[in-house]
Amino acid sequence: MRRQNDTLRKFARGKFGHLLRAGIREPALLLYLDAQANRRSHPNENLAREAMELFTLGVGHYSEADVKEAARALTGWSVEEGQFANVAARRDIGNKCILGQRGELDGTALVIILLEQPATSERLALKLCRLFFGESIVPPAAMHALAAGLREHDLDIAWATELVLKSQLFFSNANLGSRVIGPVEFVVGAVRALEMFDPSPSTLALADWSARIGQDLFNPPNVGGWPFGRAWVHTRSMITRANFITALISGPDVGRASPYDAAFLPHKYGFGTNSDALLTFHHRLLFGTDPSADIRRRTSGMDERRTIGTLLSSPQAQLG
């Protein structure tokens, strides 16, 4: 899993073809999807199905016959001594027909076929929009335009990401605060926002809190990875998020010897350090706006650290 993660990091911001070619040969993936059981005499469809359904085309853009033929193309791909291996004795070298293309197709040819399908660019566009936008923010025409641009730029993820991050839609009022952030984003985002760098929390403690909230690093629930959006919001996760914030502010349960100094950042940036100034500074820091009269009323009489904990545990703090 560590090696697979390194591969994802290496290729994630490049052309998707490079990522797919490297990722589909990762031993973690091959073992998880029983590639070693995929033999000429008994094809195993797991890797072929997920390569189409999850990594490229998406449901509805291939047939069961395509899955069976793709499984034949992937015969021989296995893991030996922790490394990718293409075992010739297990390969099916006969003619195959995948998504309308015929020939003595193997795993390499299958990857090329999948990359050339318009559905792959559409799915990549969908994934990018889920990452950077809230629900129903991106109109279908804009998503199709992004997919078309990806096809024109050889599925270059860096190009698409730059386009999204410079777009008016990304900075629109409709998009601000519209996407539920996942556990890792929530945990790491709080640490970064409060500049808890010296001393920093324990990364193992942060990973443990992320797992408690629902995202256990290096242990996804299935090959498709973790859920997204509203799936992160339920009673247990919200209680655990609030408990994490309490631990982060207090210190020891995240590996910091001392509690968060509520006056440090306001003083660092030339702000006042009375109670009202601390509330205003942190509200601007976290949400970009001044606190409302309701927030001021709710936090009246609280000590500074409890006030900041209240802000970070609020519904608004769960959105990006």
Say whether both 188 and 302 belong to one domain.
Answer: yes
pLDDT, mean of residues 77-101: 95
Q: Is the pLDDT of residue 138 over 90?
A: yes
Within-domain flag for 173: no
Q: Of 82, 101, 116, which residue sits at a domain end?
A: 116
What whole-number percentage of the chain has pLDDT above 70? 100
Say whether both 55 and 101 belong to one domain.
Answer: yes
Render pLDDT for 239-249 as a digit per residue (tens, 0 to 9): 999 999 999 99
Say whether both 148 and 200 belong to one domain.
Answer: no
Within-domain flag for 57: yes
Within-domain flag for 178: no
Note the pLDDT of residue 260. Answer: 96
Within-domain flag for 172: no
Within-domain flag for 200: yes
pLDDT, mean of residues 67-93: 96
Q: Of 116, 134, 154, which residue sits at a domain end?
A: 116
Note the pLDDT of residue 273. Answer: 86
Say whether both 98 and 21 belong to one domain.
Answer: yes
Note the pLDDT of residue 131. Answer: 94
pLDDT, mean of residues 160-186: 96
Render pLDDT for 189-240 as a digit per residue (tens, 0 to 9): 999 999 999 899 999 999 999 999 999 999 999 888 898 999 999 999 999 9
Render pLDDT for 18-43 as a digit per residue (tens, 0 to 9): 999 999 999 999 999 999 999 999 99
Say whether both 149 and 86 belong to one domain.
Answer: no
Within-domain flag for 306: yes
- Specify the pTM: 0.90
Are 278 and 307 spatial neighbours (Cβ–Cβ below 8 Å)? yes
Say whether both 215 and 287 belong to one domain.
Answer: yes
Say whether both 125 and 226 belong to one domain.
Answer: no
Q: Is the pLDDT of residue 11 over 90?
A: yes
Band the pLDDT of 113: cuts 50, 70, 90. very high
Band the pLDDT of 56: cuts 50, 70, 90. very high
Q: Is the pLDDT of residue 311 over 90?
A: yes
Say whether both 191 and 272 belong to one domain.
Answer: yes
Note the pLDDT of residue 224. Answer: 87
Say whether both 305 and 192 belong to one domain.
Answer: yes
Within-domain flag for 41: yes
Say whether both 282 and 189 belong to one domain.
Answer: yes
Say whether both 197 and 304 belong to one domain.
Answer: yes
Mean residue pLDDT of the chain comes to: 96
Say whether both 311 and 189 belong to one domain.
Answer: yes
Q: Of 116, 131, 151, which residue sits at a domain end?
A: 116
Within-domain flag for 248: yes
Domains contained in the chain, number: 3
Range of the domain at 158: 118-165
Note the pLDDT of residue 13. Answer: 94
What whole-number percentage of the chain has pLDDT above 90? 96
Note the pLDDT of residue 223. Answer: 87
